[in-house]
Chains A and B, each alone.
Chain A
Amino acid sequence: MSQSYNRGTVEDFGRWRDFSAGMWAWIFHKFTGWVLVGYLFTHIAVLSTALGTADLYTSTISGLEALLIVRFLEVGLLAVAVFHILNGIRLLMVDLGVGLESQDKSFYASLLLTGAIVVASVPTFLGGALV
């Protein structure tokens, strides 16, 4: 029978100083996963305006995009999606046993690359809403 590794409870926030890179990666992957699945349901709900008229669909999307808060939320969504993708690739590598000894470094690389991609994308996401 398989054994389980006792991670302790994540809810015990007092332990955060003791967390290793792998534990942070696990927490961030769960958090970004919850955000993405929540967004998936919201996304289909918004796109359901396509079941109405063409104008309803177009005006709903353009109306949402006219709100500055939505543009900032999209930047947040990009950050969440990029991290989940990059850390997901890292997890697939860990599952395959590739680069296990540098799994902590690949977590830091995922964070840095996510930050770089998000910062570089800000002008595209905010373009038209701020200027």
Chain B
Amino acid sequence: MAEHYSSFERGGRRWLFQRLTAVFLIGVLAFHFMLLHFVNHAADITFMGTQARMSQVGYFATMWLFLVTATFHGVNGVYNALVNQGLTGSRKNAVKYLLLAAGVLLVLQGTRVSLAMTNLV
């Protein structure tokens, strides 16, 4: 039988969601970089331009999903990396809840910011 090389637990949902968010992020991160560095140069970004983009429902939804999936992928990745380095027991639990809180706060703040950038609401 082949050895289990992954650092994720077998059958865990965290592994699946890490892969699913990766597929989404590959496209959206590349799009984000292209749009805000090559189509629109970062130095030329203004609040008016940002508001015009974020006031399109499709763009707003894509950016909000980008925030949520990137936060999950990043925080879950950090947690997995730490577990992989031998984090166990109560320290593992503490790190889990700390990262969960950081992720939730980031999504909340990102949502506030994205709403402030749009005139959809």
State the A residues within 8 Å of B (CB): 2-5, 10, 30, 33-34, 36-37, 40-41, 44, 47-48, 50-51, 54-55, 57-58, 61-62, 65-66, 74, 78, 81, 85, 88-89, 91-92, 95, 121, 124-125, 127-129
The 6 closest A-B pairs by CB, nearest first: A37-B74, A54-B47, A65-B43, A2-B4, A57-B47, A58-B46
Given A2-B10, A37-B77, CB of A128 within 8 Å of CB of B113? no
Contacts of B58-75 to chain A: CB distance below 8 A: 67, 70-71, 74-75
B117 within 8 A of A: yes
Residue in contact with A88 in the complex, picked from B22, B74, B110, CB distance below 8 Å: B22
CB A19 to nearest CB in B, in angstroms, measures: 16
Q: Count how many chain B residues have C-beta atoms less than 8 Å from C-beta atoms of the other chain.
A: 42
- CB neighbours (8 Å) of A40 from chain B are 70-71, 74, 106
B50 within 8 A of A: yes
Measured between alpha carbons, how far is A66 from B44 in the docked complex, in Å? 11
- CB neighbours (8 Å) of A127 from chain B are 41
Contact between A92 and B116, CB atoms less than 8 A apart: no
- CB neighbours (8 Å) of B41 from chain A are 124, 127-128
B17 within 8 A of A: no
B37 within 8 A of A: yes
Contact between B22 and A62, CB atoms less than 8 A apart: no
Contacts of B1-21 to chain A: CB distance below 8 A: 3-5, 7, 9-10, 19
Which B residue sits closest to A91, measured CB to CB? Answer: B22
Residue in contact with B50 in the complex, picked from A50, A66, A92, A128, CB distance below 8 Å: A50
8 examples of A-B residue contacts, CB within 8 angstroms: A2-B4, A2-B10, A33-B81, A40-B70, A51-B116, A88-B26, A91-B22, A124-B41
